[in-house]
Amino acid sequence: MKTAFGDMARPSETFAGESGSMVLALHEGRVVGMQGIKIMEAGTAEMVRWSIAENFRGKGLASSILRSNLIIAKQMKTHRMFSYTANPVAGQILERSGFKVSEKRGPARRYEIELPDI
């Protein structure tokens, strides 16, 4: 599969199984967006590898992928999700989705959300 993200040519190998998940957004057979989750400990998941191809930014794709991963995280029996980012746009998307800043490390922030039971 073609990807705009050279280091993620085989995301299913990295995120397969019960320890994680990867949501991919495709356009004409090419990966243009992605976000993974990794189960870190009982009930906690970390969002990783959140990327949107430059020409697809600002169109709501990141928010859609995030919503999908929140649902998947709940299905995987997690109660909390977190993400580290120094990207202010990603931080805004996380905050609009209910995440709160729980820690600051230089320019990076840790965002967390408690996931309701479904």
> Comparing C-alpha atoms, which of 114, 118, 111 is closest to residue 50?
111
Task: Tell me what the pLDDT averaged over the chain comes to.
Answer: 85
Percentage of the chain beyond pLDDT 70 is 83
pLDDT at 2: 43
Instruction: Determine if the pTM surpasses 0.85.
Output: no
DSSP state letters, 18-55: TTEEEEEEEETTEEEEEEEEEEEETTEEEEEEEEE-GG
pLDDT, tens digit (0-9, with 9 covering 90-100), for 1-48: 344 455 455 555 555 555 888 899 999 989 999 999 998 887 899 998
pLDDT at 15: 54
pLDDT at 12: 55
What is the arithmetic mean of pLDDT over 79-86?
Answer: 94
